[in-house]
C-alpha cells in the first residue's frame, strides 16, 4: 500500500465531514439512542474490513478498504411535518456526488491522490421510517488502493 491506511481513512473522514452541517460526527459507531436531541444530523464513519487482491507472484497487492458511513436525522421540533427520508435523501445525494463525482467532469474521487478510486459499492440501507421522527442510512463505501 503506497499511502498509510490512517492517511486514507482520515482523508475520507475529512471529505465526509465537510459535506453537511453535521451536528455530530465520529469515526466509530454510536447508537442512535446515544445521540442527543440537538445532535442531528449525525454522521459516523466505521471501518469495516479490508480485502487484498492478489494478482500473482511478484505483483504488488491491490487493497479494497471497506467503510460504512452511518447517517442519522431527526424531524422533531420545527420539522415534525416531514418524514425522515426528506432529510436523508439530500444527504445521500451529497455523499454520492462527493464519493462518485461525474467522471466526465472531475474523474474519480481519489482522496487527494492517495487512492485510485473511492466508490459506493453495495446496498444502501435505510430504516424505512420505523423510528417515527428519526431516520438512518448506512452507505457502503469501497476505497481501492493501487498496488
Q: What is the pLDDT of residues 36-68, one digit of tens each?
A: 989 999 999 999 999 988 888 888 889 999 999
Q: Whole-angstrom Cα distance, residue 71 to residue 43?
A: 5
Minimum mean pLDDT range among 18-22, 99-103, 125-129: 99-103
- Region 80-87: mean pLDDT is 87
What pLDDT is recorded for position 103?
A: 66
Q: Are 65 and 142 in contact (CB under 8 A)?
A: yes
Q: What is the pLDDT of residues 102-129, one digit of tens each?
A: 767 778 899 999 999 999 999 999 987 6
Mean pLDDT, all residues of the chain: 91
pTM for this model (two decimals): 0.91
Amino acid at each position: 500500500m503506497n499511502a498509510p491506511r490512517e492517511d486514507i481513512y482520515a482523508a475520507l473522514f475529512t471529505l465526509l465531514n465537510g459535506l453537511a452541517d453535521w451536528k455530530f460526527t465520529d469515526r466509530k459507531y454510536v447508537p442512535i439512542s446515544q445521540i442527543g436531541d440537538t445532535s442531528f444530523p449525525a454522521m459516523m464513519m466505521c471501518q469495516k474490513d479490508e480485502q487484498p487482491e492478489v494478482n500473482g507472484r511478484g505483483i504488488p497487492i491491490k487493497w479494497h478498504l471497506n467503510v460504512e458511513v452511518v447517517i442519522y436525522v431527526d424531524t422533531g421540533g420545527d420539522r415534525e411535518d416531514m418524514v425522515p427520508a426528506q432529510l436523508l435523501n439530500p444527504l445521500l445525494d451529497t455523499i454520492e456526488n462527493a464519493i462518485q463525482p461525474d467522471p466526465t467532469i472531475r474523474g474519480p474521487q481519489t482522496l487527494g491522490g492517495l487512492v485510485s478510486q473511492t466508490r459506493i459499492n453495495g446496498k444502501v440501507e435505510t430504516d424505512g421510517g420505523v423510528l417515527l421522527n428519526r431516520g438512518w442510512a448506512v452507505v457502503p463505501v469501497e476505497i481501492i488502493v493501487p498496488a
